[in-house]
Amino acid sequence: MILSDYLAQAEALARDCRALLDRLESATRLDVAKGQLNALKDDRLAALQAALRTLPADDRRAAGAAFNTLKTSIQEALDSFATRQVAGTGAERFDGTMPGRGTWRGSLHPVTLVIDEICEIFRELGFTIALGPEAETEWYNFGALNFPADHPAMELHDTLYLGEDTLLRTHTSPVQVRTMQRFAPPIRVLAPGQVYRRDFFDATHAPAFMQLEGLAIDEGVSFVDLKATLAEFARRFYGATRRVRFGPSYFPFVEPGAQMDVEVDLGDGKGLRWVEILGCGMVHPNVIEAAGLDSEQYTGWAFGMGPARIAMSRYGVNDIRTFYDSDVRFLEQFAR
Ligand code: DAH
């Protein structure tokens, strides 16, 4: 063989190897690519190596250099194929070795989780779910609940009116009346829902928020049932060691009225303190009568709580607005 043929053959082999690797999809496995490359080059490379000895002595140095350049360029072509496999470009981008991209999974809002959990506890205690409209009449929201006609809660600056007689309910208590109208006792319901007030949005208030109403009506129901049920709820929700207490309170639709407090640490460095988590009481006879039941035959108890505040007391959160900020870093701490 003469030197010019030798150089041309070496150059052709390098070109063929590059062309083969260029043709392969970047998705081709590296061992498959190597196999094809070897099938193409092995005989021709061995022949070129053997041919070195057949060249005139003066040409061997140049041919040897060309042979080494050929081997390097085949290796470089293979390396660059492997790189293309990992990095890829455009539509060919594929890397079989890269860990899968995590898909973003949403989760329930902490207030929703608390509502679900409370509903589940009360379901075990025999309660079912009842719902009522968010746009209510004055009568269901106030009148039937024993608010006197001139009660300050009905003022324009406290309640969002939609019209003459229609308003956005300020609490879920109207569901008590609607439930007593529709179903005969015994009644045990839990009514979660959105309520609205002309409140400022501050650390402890929101103008629209969730409430959870509870109602139990039957013959011979007493304050003992109220206290036992709510204390049992607190035991299950907060754990048996958390202290709760009842104290007197006033709401026009209950008599007597009470509140339940729970001892919590809100995480603000002030340590344990009593926080009111719900209002409750024996349903006022006027409310039972307004709903069309006989208050001589039936008695019952009710409660109302704000799940966002419950969530605050549960998790030691001291600003209610964090539940509305939609800051995923905050919310995902509660994800299950
Ligand atoms: N409706 C009251 C409120 O929004 C909460 C409440 C208190 C509900 C006592 C009740 C109850 O059923 O018995 O502030």
Residue 215 covered by a domain: yes
Together in a domain, 228 and 118? yes
> How big is the CA angle at 217 (ends 229 and 194), to the nearest 5 degrees?
75
CB-count exposure of residue 18 (10 Å: 0-12, 13-18, 19+): middle
Atom index in ligand 1 nearest the CA of residue 304 equals: 8
Count the domains in the chain: 2
Together in a domain, 86 and 152? no
Atom index in ligand 1 nearest the CA of residue 172 equals: 1
Q: Is 302 in the pocket of ligand 1 (CB under 6 A)?
A: yes
The pLDDT tens digits along the chain (336 residues) read: 899 999 999 999 999 999 999 888 877 888 888 899 999 899 999 999 999 888 898 998 989 999 999 999 999 989 888 887 776 555 556 677 888 888 888 889 999 999 999 999 999 999 999 999 999 999 999 999 999 988 887 777 788 999 989 999 999 999 999 999 999 999 999 999 999 998 889 888 889 999 999 999 999 999 999 999 999 999 999 998 889 999 999 999 999 999 999 998 877 788 889 989 999 999 999 999 999 999 999 999 999 999 998 998 888 888 899 999 999 999 988 887
Residue 277 covered by a domain: yes
Q: What CA–CA distance (Å, rounded) separates 242 from 151?
A: 37
Domain closes at, from 93, 128, 159: 93
Q: Which whole-number Å values give the CA distances from 104 to 84, 109, 332, in the listed order?
A: 28, 15, 11
Together in a domain, 139 and 268? yes
Q: Is 254 in the pocket of ligand 1 (CB under 6 A)?
A: yes
The pLDDT of residue 26 is: 75
Together in a domain, 273 and 134? yes
DSSP classification of residue 53: T
Beta strand pairing status for 244-249 and 166-168? unpaired
Q: Whose CA is nearest to atom 2 of ligand 1?
A: 304
Together in a domain, 226 and 77? no
| Å from CA of 302 to ligand 1 middle | 8
Which of 172, 173, 215 is the best mutation target for the ligand 1 pocket, counting ligand atoms within 8 Å of the beta carbon and taking the most? Answer: 173
Together in a domain, 144 and 78? no
Together in a domain, 79 and 41? yes
Range of the domain at 10: 3-93
Q: Is 174 in the pocket of ligand 1 (CB under 6 A)?
A: no
Check if the beta carbon of residue 217 is closer than 8 Å to that of residue 180. yes
Q: Is 193 in the pocket of ligand 1 (CB under 6 A)?
A: no
Domain closes at, from 93, 125, 144: 93
* Phi and psi torsions of 195, nearest 5°: -130, 165
Together in a domain, 213 and 246? yes
Q: Is 282 in the pocket of ligand 1 (CB under 6 A)?
A: no
CATH number of the domain that residue 228 is part of: 3.30.930.10
Q: What CA dihedral angle connects 143, 144, 147 and 151, to 10 degrees? A: -20
